[in-house]
Chains A and B, each alone.
Chain A
Amino acid sequence: MLLDIMQVTEGGGFVIIQDSVDCCGRQLLKSFMNAALKREEIIHVLGFEVCEDELRAGLDSRCIQRLYFHDGFTDPLGWTECPALTVHQFTPQQISARIGHSEQPKSVMLVIDSLSWVLRHHPATVVCQRLQELRRGGALKSILALLHSDMHQQGIVGSVCHLATAVISVSPGTSVKHAVAKTTRRTKSGRVTREEEYFTVSEDLTVTIEAQSMHSGKAQAEPEEFEADPAANLTFNLRLSEVEREAKEKLSLPFVFSQEKKSALLHHRPGAGRILYEPDANDDFDQEDPDDDLNV
């Protein structure tokens, strides 16, 4: 599923890569970016954690001009006179303005490296609302964000991931080369799929899935019970021979109706079970409720 998400072409997606100190997710982030660049998409990166050169390293040099890096690394809090991008400029209007500068058709992917940085400086509710506004705005096709799950309280991580269409958690695998990616994907119709895969990211940023770890989707082989045959080892004969079986089938049972009568009786007519009642002369068929004249 990891490769499917990487190659997804429909818009409106919000992918979060969750990593931790044990296993960094930036390589996976860069491979996502590389795949998008190859698909002729335009990428705008809000970079707070690593410098531009480090992020551009390894990406496909032919498409590199489609990557626009907004530098929030050198001066994120605006201590100098003219900062390139501060963390306080993380608002839908300002981001749309920056993206709008390039005047390209609508296949823009916004990469946030990393969302944890933004969450340290703004309340989580504000960040969630702004992200949702960016998604609905229409200037972007998709948003990809890196989130360090061990930097925040569980509630914040949960709230932000609740908004996402796909969440990929990377963690170290059993061997040094491979990492484990647990992917949860939610489609628009509400269907949720989960998968766990071992993957490696090579030098040229291609992701290879090594092996699928056995998830709970595998049906457990139920132990077959050996049923004892109750008709064995008896002093009387319970089995039928062929001749006896044929004779039994030919026997006509009482209350066996023809097929038409059976289907007529089985056909469930609406209003079956009506009670037809004709009041007699002696019946006191009074429509009024006898409790009507109670003064309760």
Chain B
Amino acid sequence: MSKVGAEHKPRLGCNTTSFQKKSRSKLVSIPGTRPSVQNGQLIVSTGVTSLDYVIGGGLAVGTLLLIEEDKYDSYSRMLLKYFLAEGVVCGHNLFIASARDHPEDILQELPAPILDDIASTRVEEGQTKLGDPEGQDSMKIAWRYQNLPKVQTALASSSRFGHYYDVSKTMDAEMRQTTKCNSFFLPDELPINSATEPSQMNEGYMALLRSIQGVIRREGFDGATPQNKSRNILRIGLHSLGSALWGDDICCKENPSNASSLTTFLYGLRALLRSSLSVGVVTVPSHLIQNRAIMGRVTKLCDTAIALESFKGLEGETNPLYKDYHGLLHVKQIPHLNCLVCEVPDTKDLAFKLKRKQFTIETCQTQ
């Protein structure tokens, strides 16, 4: 009836095990996190189960995920909202920073979670098929396989870590208000007409870094809390860093006046993340950055890096193989955290599709 001890299954090529290591009571048990089966790190879900699978089970606490935006920032913004919505559902604290839209607006657009049991959503799909026994899809002999998908293209691990969201509805206000959310909206924090003095880091980034540091210290995510407070994770979501609205001109010029401003900020941010119980997701409009070397440095400074390429942004006709999908997903980097090898997905041809109830990432089937 229960799992017997803490066995170690042989490592399979893909992460489809439902094995969960029995945790000892000494480890921190924070809701919404679990130890990774690969390297024992504490991981949280990104909000998208397919993405969790692709980056090796989830986002490790203390690391930074870089999302290179697609051309019109539709899907990267959606991923950021999934990440924040997952934080609300798990009860984590949030920190949202943006220079374009007010963080309150982003919070109001969070998708509503589907809180039923995951198995029951499958039942709904099965019931509609059963109503028509003479239909095309019903099988006479192999009827037990009727409800299974034809080809297992969606990537997901079978353990229930992470939730599903319905993008056509927004989250209820009561659910949102239960989480503590800190926000940083650049036009409110810095006056626009302030003269920019040459310094190591752009003023906007400096203010943001100080704000994050302040929140971590004040709320005690770095372990400085008194003992009676229970531990929680801080989810940091930074929207569109490096764009012109942050006061950074790496998107405007090939020789920006301060090319290392963003990279210095990321270095400082990663130091803060490593020393506290927090997870960071940053979106960067890489298609606007003129100097290719900067993007390489930015990727190296983040732990996990993915890039989204939407088919809407492409000129001309797209490959007919891609008509079912909305874009391609490129995994640029996966970190080695306290281990020598990291789990990478089997194939590099990953395509994503934003459906109403799920953001699926599938391997492109080449016929």
Closest to B23 in A: A289
Q: Is there an interface contact between A162 and B147, defined as CB atoms closer than 8 Å?
A: no
Considering only residues 274-328 of chain B, those with a C-beta below 8 Å from chain A are 285, 287-290, 310, 312-313, 316-318, 320
Q: Does B135 interact with chain A (Cβ within 8 Å)?
A: no
Partner pick for A270 among B119, B146, B244, B312, CB 8 A cutoff: B119
Residues 145-180 of B contacting A (Cβ, < 8 Å): 146-147
Does A91 contact B193, Cβ atoms closer than 8 Å? yes
- Chain B residues with CB below 8 A from A192, complex form: 72, 74, 310, 312-313
Q: Most chain-B CB neighbours within 10 Å: which of A125, A158, A253, A265?
A: A125
Closest A residue to B317 by beta carbon equals A216
B68 contacts the other chain (Cβ, under 8 Å)? no
Contacting residues, chain A, for B24 (C-beta < 8 A)? 289, 292
A186-217 interface bits toward B, Cβ cutoff 8 Å, 1 = contact, 0 = none: 10001110100000000000000000000010
Contact with B along A242-258 (1 / 0, CB 8 A): 00000000000100100
Return A253 CB to nearest CB of chain B, in Å: 6
Q: Is A237 an interface residue when CB atoms closer than 8 A count as contact?
A: no
Cα A272 to Cα B346 in complex, Å, equals: 29
The residue from A125, A163, A253 contacting B248, defined by CB atoms under 8 A apart: A125
With A133-B192, A267-B126 in contact, is A153–B253 under 8 Å at CB? yes
Check A159 against B74 for contact (C-beta < 8 Å). no
CB nearest neighbor in B for A265: B144
**Chain B residues, Cβ within 8 Å of A126:** 192
Complex partner residue of B249 from A92, A125, A270, A292, CB under 8 angstroms: A125
Interface size on B, residues (CB 8 A): 54
Question: Measured between alpha carbons, how far is A190 from B133 in the docked complex, in Å?
Answer: 40
Cβ-defined contact, A267 with B288, below 8 A: no
Among residues of B, the one whose C-beta sits closest to the C-beta of A275 is: B1
Task: Give, as a whole number of angstroms, the nearest-CB distance from B144 to chain A.
Answer: 7
Contact A125 B252 (CB under 8 A): yes
In contact, A129 and B247 (Cβ under 8 angstroms)? yes
Contact: A266 with B147, CB < 8 Å? yes
**A79 interfacial contact with B, CB 8 Å:** no
Count of chain A residues with a beta carbon within 8 Å of a chain B beta carbon = 52
Residues of B within 8 A of A174 (CB): none
Cβ B74 vs Cβ A190 within 8 A: yes
Q: Is B339 located at the chain interface by the 8 A CB criterion?
A: no
A155 to B254, CA, bound (A): 8
Expressed in whole angstroms, the minimum distance between the Cβ of B108 and any Cβ of chain A is: 12
In the complex, what residues of A have CB within 8 A of residue B74's CB? 186, 190-192
Tell whether A190 pairs with B78 under 8 Å between CB atoms, given A263-B130, A265-B144, A276-B1. yes
Q: Is the CB of B126 within 8 A of A266?
A: yes
Q: Mark A128-169, 1 if CB is under 8 A from B, else 0.
A: 111011001000000000000000011110111011000000
Q: Does the CB pair A253–B1 fall under 8 Å?
A: no
- Determine if A259 and B317 form an interchain contact, defined as CB atoms under 8 angstroms apart: no
Does B120 interact with chain A (Cβ within 8 Å)? yes
Q: Are B243 and A133 in contact, CB atoms less than 8 angstroms apart?
A: no
- The answer to whether B77 has its CB under 8 Å from any CB of chain A is yes
Closest B residue to A256 by CB, please name it. Answer: B140
Q: How far is the CB of B311 from chain A (nearest CB, A)?
A: 10
**What 1/0 flags go to B241-267 for Cβ under 8 Å of A?**
001110111011110000000000000
> A129 touching B187 by the CB < 8 A rule?
yes
* Complex interface: chain A residues within 8 A of B22 (CB): 289
Q: What are the residues of chain A within 8 A of B72 when measuring CB–CB?
A: 184, 186, 190, 192
Kindly provide the distance from the CB of A288 to the nearest chain B CB, expressed in whole angstroms.
8
Q: CB of A280 within 8 A of chain B? A: no
Residues of chain B within 8 A (CB-CB) of A267 are 123, 126
B348 beta carbon closer than 8 Å to chain A: no
Which residues on A sit within 8 Å (CB–CB) of B144? Answer: 265-266
A158:B117 contact, CB within 8 angstroms: no
Residues of A within 8 A of B290 (CB): 153-155
CA distance in complex: A153, B6 (Å): 60
A192, chain B: closest CB distance, angstroms: 5
How far is it, in angstroms, between the C-alpha of A119 and the C-alpha of B99 when the chains are bound? Answer: 20
Say yes or no: A286-B192 contact (C-beta < 8 A), given A155-B252, A268-B126, A270-B117.
no
Q: B residues within 8 A CB of A194? A: 312
Complex CA–CA separation, A222 to B140 (angstroms): 33
Nearest to B138 among chain A residues (CB) is A262
B76 (CB) vs chain A CBs: closest residue: A190
Q: How far apart sit A123 and B318, CA to CA, in the bound complex (Å)?
A: 36
A129-B192, A153-B290 known; A266+B245 contact, CB < 8 A: no
A residues apposed to B, CB below 8 Å: 91-92, 123-126, 128-130, 132-133, 136, 153-156, 158-160, 162-163, 184, 186, 190-192, 194, 216, 220, 222, 253, 256, 259, 262-263, 265-270, 274-277, 285-287, 289-292
10 contacts between A and B (CB under 8 A): A124-B249, A128-B245, A132-B99, A133-B192, A155-B251, A155-B253, A159-B251, A163-B100, A267-B123, A285-B4
Q: 10 closest pairs, A vs B, by CB?
A: A190-B74, A128-B244, A124-B252, A216-B317, A159-B244, A155-B290, A270-B119, A125-B244, A155-B252, A192-B312
